[in-house]
Amino acid sequence: MTTAIELADSVRRGETTATTLTEGSLAAIAAGNGALNAFLHVDVDGALSAAARVDRAVANGEDPGPLAGVPIALKDNLCTRGVPTTAASRILEGWRPPYTATVVDRLLGAGAIPVGKTNLDEFAMGSSTENSAFGPTRNPHDHARVPGGSSGGSAAAVASGMVPIGLGSDTGGSIRQPAALCGVVGVKPTYGMVSRYGLIAFASSLDQIGPLTRSVADAAVCLEVIAGHDPRDSTSLQEPAPSLVASLHDGVEGRTVALVRELLDGAAPDVEAAVNASAAVLRDAGATVIEISIPELRLGLSAYYLIAPAEASSNLARYDGVRYGLRVDADDLTMMNVATRTKGFGDEVKRRIMLGTYALSAGYYDAYYGRAQRVRTLLSRAFAGAYGRADLLVGATAPTTAFELGAKTTDPMAMYLSDVYTIPSNLSGDPAITVPFGSGADGLPLGVQLLGPARSERLVFAAAQVLEEGAPR
């Protein structure tokens, strides 16, 4: 399959045009989206005019940038000026943001062509994209199965070949888990590396934006484009984007990689076998592989399901029917707020708001939220200890391959467990990547996860490249 880098190179050399690539992507979406429901909105006019701008630049002898003419899909919690942005919620249906997310501006600046907005679990709360108010997305490898979530629309769009690159957001695994279930690469960068300006907030101390792609190299190019300081996000690191492409082939010779027991606990046998095989690939490439245990990781899920809902309950207070989005009229202001939120939010979002409000309420704050924050510190220290012994950690991305639609919708706890291996790096703020690594017993794709300390993206990507080259075909 042609990579984004190859496509951009052929546009830059004048061998093809951005318009041709964009028309190809739009045609693939038109043909496939009825079955997959990966896109909630396709911006035909916006895409074609962006493509025309890139083609004019090439004709004038200018270089439109490293993603020249590459069609990209944006998770629909990224604001796009004048283009509908819903977060897959009825409460934002019909809303057109007055501003554009920094990541989208940077992609446009690098020549990329945003073709549309992809489906997600409402406000990014979920692991299957079944919590969308606009119907679930289906896994391109098996339409009876979920694509994972919450960035399931972007994962399905990339895996089905509609676009070479999708953007997602990852608060507890929402880039990596769907990437693994759809057989693509997914990256959760270091907290603060990518600006969240224009990302509809879920849990602000955890949210990061990152790429979903068909190759590690494409993810590296995309992250180089979207990363780097942004004064409009106060959590943005005061440093330029790392150069990832230049060190992509540095390998893992002389590095120590630790297989983490807790990142395999409860994994299906085929997933465990893939992780062990990936460790062998790293060993063959010159790394020393050790096995370690980080017991604190077992506390991650519980801490996350206090911290994330607590922050969500606060972030979602702004959807009150007053300034934008849905309004359900009632006799007075309070009843209008209640009626709007009752109609506008789905069940999972309501569950999170209730959990979070409870965790933050007077008398319970210390017992729940305060304690979860202390666990978070413990977990970060445990990671730091592990990075004293190893350069990188390896484990599963998700416990199983893609599950059937409906399999977990009535059991929130079973759904939450889909992210048991991805949540810890959101709590610590460290980077992690999932790389497709063969398939499971059912023939569906599965992914292996590599984790590194904060700002170690160069190393993480170089190791991911080794895994990609050594993955079973």
Which residues are designated catalytic? 75, 150, 174
Residue number with CB closer to ligand GLN (38 or 420): 420
Under the binding rule (CB under 6 A), the answer on residue 313 touching ligand GLN is no
> What are the helix and strand counts (H, E) for the chain?
15, 11
| Beta-sheet strand order (sheet of 392-396) | 39-42, 113-118, 71-75, 165-170, 208-213, 185-188, 432-439, 445-451, 392-396, 256-260, 288-292
Under the binding rule (CB under 6 A), the answer on residue 154 touching ligand GLN is no
From the list 173, 178, 228, 399, which residue makes contact with ligand GLN (rule: CB under 6 A)? 173
Q: Which stretch binds ligand GLN (CB under 6 A): 51-59, 102-110, 125-133, 139-147?
A: 125-133
Under the binding rule (CB under 6 A), the answer on residue 403 touching ligand GLN is no
Residue number with CB closer to ligand GLN (170 or 224): 170
Q: Which stretch binds ligand GLN (CB under 6 A): 135-143, 168-176, 294-302, 436-444?
A: 168-176
Angle, in degrees to the nearest 10, between helices 102-109 and 216-226? 110
DSSP state string for 116-133:
EEE--SGGG--SSSTT-T
User: Residue 252: CB partners within 8 Å, gap ≥ 6?
Assistant: 282, 285, 286, 287, 392, 462, 463, 466
Contact of 73 with 113, CB cutoff 8 Å? no
Contact of 468 with 215, CB cutoff 8 Å? yes
Q: Which stretch binds ligand GLN (CB under 6 A): 53-61, 166-174, 268-276, 318-326?
A: 166-174
Residue number with CB closer to ligand GLN (151 or 213): 151
Residue number with CB closer to ligand GLN (126 or 166): 126
Residue number with CB closer to ligand GLN (21 or 79): 79
Under the binding rule (CB under 6 A), the answer on residue 127 touching ligand GLN is yes
Under the binding rule (CB under 6 A), the answer on residue 264 touching ligand GLN is no
Which parts of 406-435 interact with ligand GLN (CB under 6 A)?
419
User: Hey, which bits of 229-360 come out as E strands?
Assistant: 256-260, 288-292
Under the binding rule (CB under 6 A), the answer on residue 119 touching ligand GLN is no
Omega before 174 within 30 of 0, i.e. cis: no
Contact of 402 with 148, CB cutoff 8 Å? yes
SS3 of 404, please? Answer: strand
From the list 124, 200, 248, 306, which residue makes contact with ligand GLN (rule: CB under 6 A)? 124
User: Residue 322: CB partners within 8 Å, gap ≥ 6?
Assistant: 337
Q: What number of chain residues touch ligand GLN (CB under 6 A)?
A: 13
SS3 of 380, please? Answer: helix
Under the binding rule (CB under 6 A), the answer on residue 349 touching ligand GLN is no
**In whole angstroms, what is the distance from residue 141 CA to residue 156 CA?**
9
Give the burial class of 332: count Cβ atoms within 10 A of its Cβ; 0-12 exposed, 13-18 middle, 19 or more buried: exposed
Residue number with CB closer to ligand GLN (51 or 319): 319
Under the binding rule (CB under 6 A), the answer on residue 126 touching ligand GLN is yes
Under the binding rule (CB under 6 A), the answer on residue 172 touching ligand GLN is yes
Q: Which stretch binds ligand GLN (CB under 6 A): 21-29, 36-44, 165-173, 279-287?
A: 165-173
Q: Minimum distance between the CB of residue 86 and ligand GLN, rounded to whole angstroms?
A: 15
Alpha-carbon Rg for the chain, nearest whole angstrom, is 21
Q: Minimum distance between the CB of residue 430 and ligand GLN, rounded to whole angstroms?
A: 15
Residue ranges in 361-421 assigned as alpha helix (H): 371-386, 412-416
Residue number with CB closer to ligand GLN (199 or 275): 199
Under the binding rule (CB under 6 A), the answer on residue 308 touching ligand GLN is yes
Under the binding rule (CB under 6 A), the answer on residue 150 touching ligand GLN is yes
Q: Minimum distance between the CB of residue 59 and ligand GLN, rounded to whole angstroms?
A: 41
Residue with tokens 């009626």: 339
Name the region of 71 (left: φ>0; alpha: ψ -120 to 50; beta: rest). beta
Under the binding rule (CB under 6 A), the answer on residue 202 touching ligand GLN is yes
Under the binding rule (CB under 6 A), the answer on residue 155 touching ligand GLN is no
Residue number with CB closer to ligand GLN (202 or 319): 202
Residues within the interface to ligand GLN (CB under 6 A): 124-127, 150, 170-174, 202, 308, 419
